[in-house]
A and B are shown apart, each in its own frame.
Chain A
């Protein structure tokens, strides 16, 4: 009968074996070690002067906000689609009004050049 100590030993051996096996496999699959000049980004032959971490202006934020706004519009269409057949023309007109208001929003954003890549 397997005692608690024996079970623990088996688990320890299996865990140790797995660890060693995976580490060896990792060693086999790892690309060869690179030197410092090999690791720097390609800039046409010169090395970088500053660290690459830098904060920059996300200029597409206006476009991203617009995308989110109109993405939400689709979410409202799911419950509408469920009741559309039951409610009939009334639901159709309400959704048309909703779409028209949103379309006016797009046209306004377009006129204000919010869709231009800057």
Chain B
């Protein structure tokens, strides 16, 4: 009798291959929608979990982590990402208010609010999926090609072009002169809105010859100021400082953390993932006056041959185009001595002098933000009870913020000229170096 029970239990146990697969790290592809601040923190914490790997492509992940609400124009892309996951697949959809009505973008997703233990939940989902306790999700989009691949002949053969006919409704690339005067194929590609190195929502319409960008255009921002979640701004000390005095220590620590998180993303884009994680860990444990780990990181980066090659001479912006436009670190990395804190009495008492770099390229922006992070930690330690803000204008980590605007439209407007002629890798590095956040759409309120 006891033997039969053991047999039943053993019969329910998944096979050894399934159990071994379930022990592997959880490979997660994360996409985020309109709820920003809390979600960024969640992703940052997730990256430091040893058993969780955030992948660059859904092809190498089997758990989709969808965060926030997705505007209409991003929903189709979100579904396509879901279908491109490696099977067996499962979706976890985090929303700030999980009971609020929403469109069924992911019909079978597990829904949770943002206060759950994310790492634990992801591990459970992965284990249940791989051991067969939970079934894999079916594709959401219909199995339809854009068009049949059919030529002019009776058996679908023949026609014009290299392949004869139109392959699955997609035309062959057009021909255009390249920089050497040769007439070569030009590939039209739209990248985004969930391309991991780019900010969420950014879509670039590109014309490529090889991997050289011949034309770049920025698609319309999918995030709508009218639907901006009020929670997006509530926790941000810089937004609060627009209307009320905020302790300098709070703002400077937020600035330092922001720059270090940006640096982590930039290092990961350049293939320096371990250094990126080290930066992320410093950002998480940062406290006022904690200079030593950042100085140590700076030393490592300074002597790293890989970092010294990053972005030198790439993504150079003419200083005249960005002078007096409140572009913060981007302007200061171009040698422009612009910072609202210079005229702020609280900062004047601290002897504030802006950090400036002259090279004006991707590498210069990297050093600029790292040095500003060090400066902010020092300022935070010395600021005591000093407060700043309440004047309707504040120097944020991405540049000047006002009640109804920020630097986002100007930076997006710079992109087409900036990307022209760049190879793809340099173009990605350039976009990352500008530190864009398309969810910060306060500037749309003006129009």
Which A residues fall within an 8 A CB radius of B? 32, 35-38, 40, 42-57, 59
Pairs A–B under 8 Å by Cβ, sample size 28: A32-B87, A35-B83, A35-B143, A36-B143, A36-B144, A37-B79, A37-B80, A37-B84, A40-B84, A42-B57, A42-B84, A44-B77, A44-B203, A45-B80, A45-B193, A46-B192, A46-B203, A48-B189, A49-B170, A49-B189, A49-B190, A50-B172, A51-B163, A51-B167, A51-B168, A51-B170, A55-B184, A59-B210
CB-based A-B contact count at 8 angstroms = 105
User: CA separation between A37 and B146, bound complex, in Å?
Assistant: 10
Contact check, B193 vs A35: say whether CB atoms are below 8 A apart.
no
Contact check, A37 vs B192: say whether CB atoms are below 8 A apart.
no
Size band of the interface chain B makes with A:
35 or more
Which residues of A have CB within 8 Å of B186? 54
Contact of B58 among A35, A42, A56 (CB under 8 A): A42
Contact check, A57 vs B180: say whether CB atoms are below 8 A apart.
yes
User: CA separation between A47 and B180, bound complex, in Å?
Assistant: 30
Contact check, B172 vs A37: say whether CB atoms are below 8 A apart.
no
State whether the Cβ of B156 lies closer than 8 Å to any Cβ in chain A.
no
Smallest Cβ distance from B425 to chain A, in angstroms? 12
Contact check, B139 vs A43: say whether CB atoms are below 8 A apart.
no
Given A42-B84, A43-B189, A56-B210, check contact A51 B139 (CB 8 Å).
no
Contact check, B83 vs A38: say whether CB atoms are below 8 A apart.
yes
Closest residue on chain A to residue B76 by CB atoms: A45
Tell me what chain A mostly uses at the interface: helix, strand, loop, or mixed: loop
Contact check, B198 vs A50: say whether CB atoms are below 8 A apart.
no
Smallest Cβ distance from B114 to chain A, in angstroms? 22
State whether the Cβ of B59 lies closer than 8 Å to any Cβ in chain A.
yes
User: CA separation between A57 and B144, bound complex, in Å?
Assistant: 34
Smallest Cβ distance from B415 to chain A, in angstroms? 15
State whether the Cβ of B188 lies closer than 8 Å to any Cβ in chain A.
yes
Known: A46-B192, A56-B209, A57-B178. 18 other contacts (CB 8 A): A36-B168, A37-B84, A37-B139, A38-B84, A42-B58, A44-B192, A44-B194, A44-B196, A45-B81, A46-B191, A46-B203, A50-B170, A50-B188, A51-B168, A53-B162, A54-B173, A57-B209, A59-B210
State whether the Cβ of B340 lies closer than 8 Å to any Cβ in chain A.
no
Contact check, B189 vs A56: say whether CB atoms are below 8 A apart.
no
State whether the Cβ of B187 lies closer than 8 Å to any Cβ in chain A.
yes
Q: Which B122-164 residues have a C-beta within 8 angstroms of A? A: 139, 141-146, 162-163
User: CA separation between A40 and B185, bound complex, in Å?
Assistant: 21
Contact check, B189 vs A45: say whether CB atoms are below 8 A apart.
no
Which residues of B have CB within 8 Å of A45? 31, 74, 76-78, 80-81, 192-195
Which residues of B have CB within 8 Å of A53? 162-163, 172-173
Contact check, B210 vs A51: say whether CB atoms are below 8 A apart.
no
Which residues of B have CB within 8 Å of A46? 77, 80, 190-193, 203
Q: Which B340-364 residues have a C-beta within 8 angstroms of A? A: none
Contact check, A47 vs B145: say whether CB atoms are below 8 A apart.
no
User: CA separation between A49 and B374, bound complex, in Å?
Assistant: 45
User: What are the 5 tightest A-B residue pairs by CB atom distance, in nearest-first order?
Assistant: A45-B77, A44-B195, A54-B185, A56-B210, A35-B143
Which residues of B have CB within 8 Å of A42? 57-59, 84
Which residues of B have CB within 8 Å of A48? 170, 189
State whether the Cβ of B230 lies closer than 8 Å to any Cβ in chain A.
no
Which residues of A have CB within 8 Å of B146? 47
Smallest Cβ distance from B217 to chain A, in angstroms? 13
Which residues of A have CB within 8 Å of B193? 44-46
User: CA separation between A54 and B180, bound complex, in Å?
Assistant: 17
Among A32, A45, A53, the one with the most B-chain Cβ atoms within 10 Å of its Cβ is A45
Smallest Cβ distance from B165 to chain A, in angstroms? 11
User: CA separation between A59 and B193, bound complex, in Å?
Assistant: 30
Given A44-B203, A55-B184, check contact A50 B171 (CB 8 Å).
yes
User: CA separation between A47 and B178, bound complex, in Å?
Assistant: 25
Contact of A43 among B78, B167, B190, B209 (CB under 8 A): B190
Closest residue on chain B to residue A52 by CB atoms: B187
State whether the Cβ of B182 lies closer than 8 Å to any Cβ in chain A.
yes
Which residues of B have CB within 8 Å of A50? 170-174, 187-189
User: CA separation between A51 and B188, bound complex, in Å?
Assistant: 9
Closest residue on chain A to residue B193 by CB atoms: A45
Which residues of B have CB within 8 Å of A51? 163, 167-168, 170-173
Given A45-B74, A47-B80, A51-B167, check contact A38 B187 (CB 8 Å).
no
Contact of A56 among B78, B168, B172, B185 (CB under 8 A): B185
Contact check, A43 vs B171: say whether CB atoms are below 8 A apart.
no
User: CA separation between A36 and B174, bound complex, in Å?
Assistant: 24
User: CA separation between A47 and B194, bound complex, in Å?
Assistant: 12
CB-defined interface of B60-85 with A at 8 Å, one 1/0 digit per residue?
Answer: 00000000000000101111110110
